[in-house]
Structure 1
């Protein structure tokens, strides 16, 4: 009997030894499928009873020490990514191999988390600088709600204030961190297209249907893109063809008799060739909303055509080529004069503009960690303005070219490149303004390195620019990202910037008397100095889930910016003529503020709450040996609300209904000499009913019909030579529009 037990135990021990000899450790490397960055905290689970597993470390690696021979089913998962099933047959042919697993972002977040403006194409959670993204879903909704331009959706963000800069043209400027619109740089697909003469008319007349997303970089970004990105940067990203053909058409009609017809088509014919095509037309008659006889909404007739071709000749090589045509007529002033119904009324301000733009981008991926990008654009802009009988005409040729190399090496993600910017303005031959021709050229080189050390990422950037008129600029920047856990992040950034004097910069007058009309504008004095800036940004963010359905995103940001030598428009010393001079002010501009926002998503419910507090002052610098009192110093910067609340609530039933309501409160806004204007609320609501490929959208902006004329007259003085008050509140009143949308792919 004892010998039988010995034999039995011997057999068991033999098989256990044999199994142990064949048990194998499996090593995995888990990365983001888009950025190729290692993912920390991903779960690797063995589908057994009971299930076992482990998590990836700071390098994205995980080890399963003892897996039995045979078929083993694994699941790799991480919040915000699709689960990755992995079936293994053990033992492996190469026991020491490192299995590579790349997780794809979840469908709902795929278009919103990858940022291109930072040149590293990283997910938004991994960026050392603060970026907010309005993604494809936001653009699709806005394409039916406000199809004419993206200004409405940008104004919903608490840190952005959209200011109407002209009654006669209806143009708008974007203020970030309370600063003038000229300190916000606007890019289209990473290319600066709206600078100088071509940048101060209809910048926001870009239909959302043509966009994939809008990237909002908060704070200084001049190291990567040169002068101008002092308060922030907006990158408008065009759409690309997907795996299926797509056709979307939107027909819209508003209570102000505005008609929009926009269409977008995209198709990837084969792996090597694809295209997108956008075409849009807007017809808006001049409308006098408040009954004072002057157009609160100018006459607009605009046609836009934007085809793009996407080529992939070889694996790792991509070429995109595009062309944009914008032909626009825009007329404001006395409605009777515009319509020609009263010959005694003559006050008309008309603008005819034509813009041709070609652009190309070539990406060559040598390895998974090394990509070379070359891109460029050439734009021709022709504009003629008639200002109450006074004619001004000009043409601008703009060019931009850059070469950038992106390289990952260990914990480093490096970007190095060079670019050339050209801006050439030529005045019309029959023009009698005092504005002179100019040619500006800027050559820049830049380098940036993201160094990841555990839970901390350091980002250092340097830029050197040479301007053919205003000299050399050296721009350092340093940022740091700390991620104590998967859900929390802390960002700190300090950077420098500059802005060269420009005749056509979107300026705010130094006082209420200053006219910004071209007919009174004098050339820039050769002694005018460039503006310099220093910006500091910090934010603490949480992004995670509570339970199975509630997604929470909470962000608290702080910022400080100081600008020295600001160039402002002032009334000339010659009292006989109403001249306007651009000159350096005897004060600095300082912006100090906080920005708080909360986003919640619970199944089909979306909620956004934002609050921004900004104090922007003109502050006289301390000067030793001089007792200089700066005129207009120690006052609040005009048109910059100190407080702004934003609120959005939306609910949807997939493929049936969607409705939303939004509001913003604009408070403690000042004009000149610390003169405060009344606070106001702005409400909007929309509802959409979907019938398969067709949907109807009913939208109402400014529900309670807030108008600036309720607080005082907007236009005063002689009928044919009026004075227009500064615009600080809505001018158009309540707007209701009904849109019919057709989507081949839904």
Structure 2
């Protein structure tokens, strides 16, 4: 009996011993790769704890078989949770990288293709994140979202259908390039509708690069780029949003994301219905009647750890009608009759393939095709001779091959791309066709070098050959060499200075904001014999201070940027004869210079932002200066935000613009608008209410919107709708 008990105890002890395991780890700083001393390694649910030594090493003993959770914590770093099944195969130390709390809000920049943190690259890039939350402001278009950045301004280009474009650093909209995931899908024929047609709910972030950006993105990137970066199928997510406004808007949005093994997909379906709205009761719409639909599916595939790809599409359809309220409602009117109708369709595809050749080399391929159709009909009078019809298709085909070589201190991007862009107009009676096309082949190289821990240098060079043609000119070849240089110097851990300079160009086209009020009536085709490319030279320099004051709940950012841009041979529209409107180059140069000041402060649950922009933009012709229209010299924007996670989000925003110049040397009044947003989260539901333009600023308060009996040629420099409210519901599943 005694022997049996001894044998039983021996078997039990042997079994227990075999069921115990060790976990060996080495804890490192993710950025410096240095060992972290004093990090805590815990077997969850027990008191089994070890602390890393001077080499960052720790061994946790007596871990039972089966699935166990290991927690690793260190002061000033994000916690790490590992779920492992014991026994594990290796007895070697498992390296663990912990990320600093100061890095958790750092943004990885994608527009420059180096995929580094914003604080570590010489090219200054501003980033707007948390798009899901900000979509409460306007869920059907990005127009209001992209003005959250200083130095940007949305300008309405046509009162009838409320066309609009984005101005950067005081320069007209055609000089800012809008991208979707790095693809050039927008601009040209659609340029004055893009920011009104792109819904934000499938966006992960928006990146702004101000100043010349032609090394990566070529033609048209003169005053900067705005890159709209989509969500990826990394998590399962369903988001529904509906909202309504007191001025007749109804928006319905649904976004879904799913990951199924190696496959994944995302999709956004968005619908907007906006009734016509007459804010000043003059019988003409201040906000056009709009019906719009967007459908953005994307399919992802990850066959292995080295390769990933996706195939996406953008499909949209929109109808707009503005003008005489009776014509919109009843298709009939007595007296006024002016109306403007627009229809547009977009179909675009994107293909992206990324393959990791080695730990240091990655090759990627991009291809996109887009077809944008637009139809415009303007009835200036009940009589048919006073109507105008214009329509056509814009085709765009883009392909890019990129090789990225990356190591600890250097990154090299080498790329080749082709872009084919053509516009074909539909022929109507008495109208001459204004077909135009250009084909571009570009080769670029960009080199980022971390010279030291304090100094980084980025240099780039692009060479492009452009073949442009119209019906009157079969082929006109042009070549451009576009250098770019950026530098970052970190004076201290908190203080840094950046410098950036480069060149750019823009091929002349009729698709500019000056053409929009005319509906392209009597706009003559571009004469390639008389007009040359607009060429630019620009530079930015900024100084930044950023500190958390050794606290996880406080952060302060101060930034002071100065900019200077010159565009030689700027094209302008000669409106002296409205029956023969011609683009010409009578000015020597267009100048835009000034500075931007920013303050961002976060204390606990409160954050505030204050931005000031001074802009001096003018044409110069033989030392005679003419101020650029609709560009305020002084602009202030800011907000105050309170956020209690998963409970409340309450914000106040404001915007001030100084006087602007109009035609005939007319000066406008200063403008001040303000608004409030309140959100309440209850489980998976978010209820929100916005009060916009509480100061009830609208242009009709300061004069009639009618010019010769209609709003067609009235310059818009102020909000049109006045005070309004919108509210809605988000459901997160």
**SS in structure 2 of the partner of residue 670 of structure 1:** coil
Relative distance call for 1:532 and 1:189 in structure 2 (3 A) is: same
Given candidates 473, 480, 493, the residue that maps to 1:473 is 480
Alignment-derived partner of residue 517 in structure 1:
519
Alignment-derived partner of residue 680 in structure 2:
689
Relative distance call for 1:70 and 1:127 in structure 2 (3 A) is: closer
**Equivalent residues in 2 for 1:7-156, closer than 5 Å:** 30-31=29-30, 38-39=31-32, 44-46=36-38, 82=78, 102-104=97-99, 109=104, 113-135=107-129, 137=130, 139-156=131-148
**Structure 1 residue 714: deviation in Å?**
1.5
Runs of 5+ consecutive residues of structure 1 not aligned to the other structure: 1-25, 32-37, 49-62, 87-93, 621-628
Relative distance call for 1:71 and 1:238 in structure 2 (3 A) is: closer
Relative distance call for 1:70 and 1:287 in structure 2 (3 A) is: closer
**Structure 1 residue 203: deviation in Å?**
3.2
The question of 1:537 aligning with 2:540 is answered yes
**Equivalent residues in 2 for 1:343-354, closer than 5 Å:** 344-354=335-345
Q: Note the aligned Cα RMSD (angstroms).
A: 2.9
**Structure 1 residue 64: deviation in Å?**
8.5
The question of 1:724 aligning with 2:724 is answered no
Relative distance call for 1:102 and 1:392 in structure 2 (3 A) is: same
**Equivalent residues in 2 for 1:581-660, closer than 5 Å:** 581-620=582-621, 629=622, 633-660=624-651
**Structure 1 residue 517: deviation in Å?**
3.1
**Structure 1 residue 540: deviation in Å?**
1.2
Alignment-derived partner of residue 301 in structure 2:
311
Relative distance call for 1:106 and 1:672 in structure 2 (3 A) is: farther
Relative distance call for 1:107 and 1:69 in structure 2 (3 A) is: closer
Relative distance call for 1:305 and 1:105 in structure 2 (3 A) is: farther
Q: Separation in 1 of the partners of 2:615 and 2:354?
A: 40
Alignment-derived partner of residue 624 in structure 1:
none
Alignment-derived partner of residue 742 in structure 1:
731
Q: Separation in 1 of the partners of 2:35 and 2:494?
A: 15
**Equivalent residues in 2 for 1:201-216, closer than 5 Å:** 201-216=193-208
**SS in structure 2 of the partner of residue 44 of structure 1:** coil
Alignment-derived partner of residue 440 in structure 1:
438
The question of 1:322 aligning with 2:312 is answered yes
Q: What is the TM-score of this pair, normalised by structure 2?
A: 0.85
Q: Separation in 2 of the partners of 1:711 and 1:587?
A: 35
**Equivalent residues in 2 for 1:546-585, closer than 5 Å:** 546=549, 547-571=551-575, 575=577, 578-585=579-586
**Equivalent residues in 2 for 1:305-384, closer than 5 Å:** 305-339=295-329, 340-342=331-333, 344-384=335-375
Relative distance call for 1:67 and 1:493 in structure 2 (3 A) is: closer
Relative distance call for 1:173 and 1:75 in structure 2 (3 A) is: same
Alignment-derived partner of residue 428 in structure 2:
430
Alignment-derived partner of residue 697 in structure 2:
706
**Structure 1 residue 153: deviation in Å?**
2.0
Relative distance call for 1:105 and 1:228 in structure 2 (3 A) is: farther
Q: Separation in 2 of the partners of 1:383 and 1:248?
A: 31
- Contact 2:648–2:681 at 8 Å: present in 1 too? yes
**SS in structure 1 of the partner of residue 398 of structure 2:** strand
Q: Separation in 1 of the partners of 2:531 and 2:451?
A: 45
- Contact 2:36–2:56 at 8 Å: present in 1 too? no
Deviates more, 1:458-467 or 1:610-619: 610-619
Cα distance per residue 1:116-174 (max 9 Å; x no partner): 11111111111111111001x2x112222311211112223221111111111212111
**Structure 1 residue 71: deviation in Å?**
7.1
Q: Separation in 2 of the partners of 1:69 and 1:548?
A: 27
Cα distance per residue 1:180-208 (max 9 Å; x no partner): 11111100110011132133324342122
**Structure 1 residue 222: deviation in Å?**
0.9
- Contact 1:43–1:78 at 8 Å: present in 2 too? no
Q: Separation in 1 of the partners of 2:676 and 2:332?
A: 36
Deviates more, 1:224-233 or 1:583-592: 583-592
Q: Separation in 1 of the partners of 2:55 and 2:401?
A: 49
- Contact 2:37–2:56 at 8 Å: present in 1 too? no
**Structure 1 residue 703: deviation in Å?**
0.8
How many residues are aligned here? Answer: 666
Q: Separation in 2 of the partners of 1:287 and 1:366?
A: 57
**Equivalent residues in 2 for 1:381-460, closer than 5 Å:** 381-388=372-379, 389-430=387-428, 432-454=430-452, 455-460=454-459
Relative distance call for 1:727 and 1:101 in structure 2 (3 A) is: same
Cα distance per residue 1:262-293 (max 9 Å; x no partner): 010111112x0111010010001111111121
Q: Separation in 2 of the partners of 1:105 and 1:638?
A: 48
- Contact 2:37–2:54 at 8 Å: present in 1 too? no
Q: Separation in 2 of the partners of 1:126 and 1:30?
A: 17
